[in-house]
Structure 1
Amino acid sequence: LIARRRRTSCYFYPRAWPSVRSADWWERVVLKEFGPQDWLEKFRMSKETFFYVCNQLQPGLAPHSAHFHPTLPLEKRVAVALWHLATNVEYQTLSPLFGVGPSTVQTCVREVSYAVVLLLKPLYLRLPNEKELENMVRIFRTRWGFPHCIGALDSLHIPIPPPLRLSADYCNGQGWHSILTQATVDGLGQFWDVSTAFPGSMENSAVLESSSLWVLAKEGRLCPNPPKHFMGKAQKYVLLGDATYPLQDWILKPYQEDENLTQRQLQFNYRLKRAHSVIENAFLRLKARWQILLKCDDCSLELLPTLVLACCILHNVCEAHDNPFNE
């Protein structure tokens, strides 16, 4: 079983806003008084990126396609959802802040998450084309010193309350309940393949063989046809995994470390682990940005896969728009 990832969190100091009725707080305080740092702290993105996201989500959040009171603006629905995803505050705590009921907060989170996956996933979380794969190879070679590589692969345990059914299946090797999310990132730490909602007791190898990435690899869609030449012969592009993954002609893993490793093997391990750290850092940023992933208490198992995907997509949106991340 993979070791539990070190958690991180963002600590933000509350600003003393003037006394404003909750129903007016969004219009009078957030829209008119929030500065650049306030937007980053509360919504994890700049004001410009926020309104870009709202514009992209408009077809999926039109009044006829969502269960909202017609007077609740689209931007306010998105703001409610992002605030919950970013801070993981309970629905009952968040609802008076925006002057809406807890059930409306829940609806905002659900509908916005579905809209993000429906409308932003094709733009921000998809299989790269051939030209993009070549650029990913270049980044891994120049930034991480690892050639012919298109991604780093790993899994993330997301804590959940014990499910009423099949509880033992979700209990991981550390003794707590979780779902597993397998993800692949490029050399910049942006996700391009995510499979989620696997029970926490599953091994990484079993998750891999049940994932969309496995299907893509078996269909030969992770490299050009014919493959590019490397070291004098045609070879598939590779992904970098840790010791828990099976060795494949498209997955590299470190040598098992013991006193018999040669200097060349030790150097290979060093370079692979250094390059693989890009996904470890991406997971840390993902969880710190969207702290709902630290403990999904208010989310059903049915919604959780959509919510996790939405967080990964929004992570990519923030990274692609150069929204700085506050440690």
Structure 2
Amino acid sequence: MDLFRNGISRLISKTTVMYMLYQDIWTTREMWVHDLILHGNDKSEFLLAEEILESSNEEKCHQYFQMQKYQFEYLLDKVESIISKKVTFWRSAIQAKRRLILTIRYLATGASQLDLSFSFRIGHSTVRTILRETMSALWKALVNEVMPPHTPKKWLEIAEEFNFRWQCPNCIGALDGKHV
């Protein structure tokens, strides 16, 4: 019984110390969300991007997103259910459309995550998380459509078409956009 009491008292003392440490850390934190991010929704690049998507100017849409409006809507339709987040009492979630806008902008421009953080007025760790989740969702949704079947006959057909169109013999694909 004595061992049990000693174990409990040690656990309580450790818990008390941890609580005091965490309380000290939390009370000294300067801010949880920076003012630029907290009050920036009406000034962020999301508004410009959404305005471009809603306009009928396909040229501006292509210049901004490097894709046509119908292509963006197709991608959104494919991944919206995967990347949507639940709105809670504690926070409002970033909409699936805005998550895709951020990801497409990242891939189209090659801008750094920190640049996007300032432009879209969201935290840099949030940008990183959104990019990771959205690109993963795009991969899951499109892999069967985009990746060719793994048969030598199909690869030869693709190589012939690629050579005819782009004069690149023995090539079955190309990547463009973000340089890795």
Q: Which TM-score applies when normalising by structure 2?
A: 0.59
Q: Which amino acid aligns with 1:276?
A: P
Q: 2:157 is matched with which residue: 150, 160, 163? A: 150
CA distances 1:179-215 after superposition (whole Å, capped 9, x unpaired):
xxxxxxx6248xxxxxxxxxxxxxxxxxxxxxxxxxx
Higher fraction of strand: 1
Q: 1:88 is matched with which residue: 110, 117, 125? A: 110
In structure 2, how many angstroms separate the alpha carbons of the residues matched to 1:116 and 1:99? 23
Change (3 A) 1:96 1:63: same
Bigger CA radius of gyration: 2
In structure 2, how many angstroms separate the alpha carbons of the residues matched to 1:58 and 1:125? 21
In structure 1, how many angstroms separate the alpha carbons of the residues matched to 2:59 and 2:170? 28
Aligned runs of 1:178-193 on 2, under 5 Å?
187-188=161-162
Structure 1 contact 63–70 (Cα < 8 Å) conserved:
no
CA distances 1:147-200 after superposition (whole Å, capped 9, x unpaired):
xx3344xxxxxxxxxxxxxxxxxxxxxxxxxxxxxxxxx6248xxxxxxxxxxx
In structure 2, how many angstroms separate the alpha carbons of the residues matched to 1:89 and 1:78? 15
Other structure's SS at 2:169 match: helix
Q: 1:98 is matched with which residue: 108, 112, 120? A: 120
Higher fraction of helix: 2
Cross-structure match for 1:30: 52
Change (3 A) 1:277 1:41: farther
Structure 2 contact 46–98 (Cα < 8 Å) conserved:
no
Structure 2 contact 113–124 (Cα < 8 Å) conserved:
yes
Cross-structure match for 2:169: 276
Change (3 A) 1:32 1:150: closer
Change (3 A) 1:120 1:24: closer
Q: 2:101 is matched with which residue: 52, 65, 79? A: 79
In structure 1, how many angstroms separate the alpha carbons of the residues matched to 2:118 and 2:171? 39
Other structure's SS at 1:115 match: helix
In structure 2, how many angstroms separate the alpha carbons of the residues matched to 1:122 and 1:111? 18
Higher RCO, 1 vs 2 (CA within 8 Å, ≥6 residues apart) = 1
CA distances 1:223-259 after superposition (whole Å, capped 9, x unpaired):
xxxxxxxxxxxxxxxxxxxxxxxxxxxxxxxxxxxxx
Change (3 A) 1:25 1:275: closer
Cross-structure match for 1:63: 85
Aligned runs of 1:1-327 on 2, under 5 Å?
21-22=43-44, 25-26=47-48, 29-33=51-55, 35-63=57-85, 70-127=92-149, 133=154, 149-152=156-159, 187-188=161-162, 274-276=167-169, 283=174, 286-287=175-176, 290=177, 292-293=178-179, 296=180
Q: Which amino acid aligns with 1:25?
A: L
In structure 2, how many angstroms separate the alpha carbons of the residues matched to 1:23 and 1:83? 10
Change (3 A) 1:277 1:42: farther
Structure 2 contact 117–127 (Cα < 8 Å) conserved:
yes
Structure 1 contact 39–47 (Cα < 8 Å) conserved:
yes
Pairwise CA RMSD of aligned residues?
A: 3.4
In structure 2, how many angstroms separate the alpha carbons of the residues matched to 1:27 and 1:38? 10
Other structure's SS at 2:67 match: coil
- Shift of residue 62, structure 1, vs aligned partner: 2.8
Change (3 A) 1:70 1:125: farther
Cross-structure match for 1:258: none
In structure 2, how many angstroms separate the alpha carbons of the residues matched to 1:35 and 1:48? 12
Other structure's SS at 2:93 match: coil
- Shift of residue 119, structure 1, vs aligned partner: 1.2
